Amino acid sequence: MTTNLSPRLVAIVDALPLRPGMRVLEIGCGPGAAAREVARRIGTGHVLATDRSARAIAQARSACSEEIAAGLLSLRQVAAEELALEPGEEPFDIAFAVRVGAFDGRHPEAGRRAMPRIAAALKPGGLLYVDDGNPLRAVRLHE
């Protein structure tokens, strides 16, 4: 059962190709609503929710406390263009971004700098899903 998500976020999460056990990276998680729902849907998988804003991460830490305590979700304050896997961290199956200026045209230079960083955090063939399609557009980052 989906809880406390706007119809738009439900459509976005529904459009993601989620499978149990996946590792999912969210760029620009805000207060964590989509990350929580993704964590619920992937079961034993893991969501890393990132945001450049300390305030957003604090809100997500509070809202996602159960998922964090269960080891299903973690948070990281980092700009997309500075994202890097931590030592020993496994790459992600997919990434997604909702209302992120680096990908919606508001900050195109940040988007250009972020793409190789996101590609490096994904498994080969992993896609970035951006909310400028209907409802999502898949961006292939690996050749």
pLDDT tens for 41-77 read: 999 999 999 999 999 999 999 999 999 999 999 999 9
Instruction: Name the band, by pLDDT with cuts 50, 70 and 90, for residue 2.
Output: very low
Can you tell me which residue has the tokens 């263009």? 81
Residue 6 has pLDDT above 80, yes or no: yes
Please, what are the domains in the chain? 7-140 (3.40.50.150)
- Token pair for 26: 């969210």
CB-side exposure of 48: number of CA atoms within 13 Å? 21
Q: What is the pTM of this model?
A: 0.94
| Residue type (1 letter), 85 | L
Average pLDDT over residues 34-38: 97
Distances (CA, A) of 116 to 35, 36, 109, 111: 22, 26, 12, 9
| Structure confidence by residue, pLDDT tens digits, 103-140 | 888 999 999 999 999 999 999 999 999 998 788 999 98
Report the alpha-carbon distance of residue 45 to residue 22 in Å, rounded. Answer: 5
Backbone torsions φ then ψ of 84, nearest 5 degrees: -150, 145
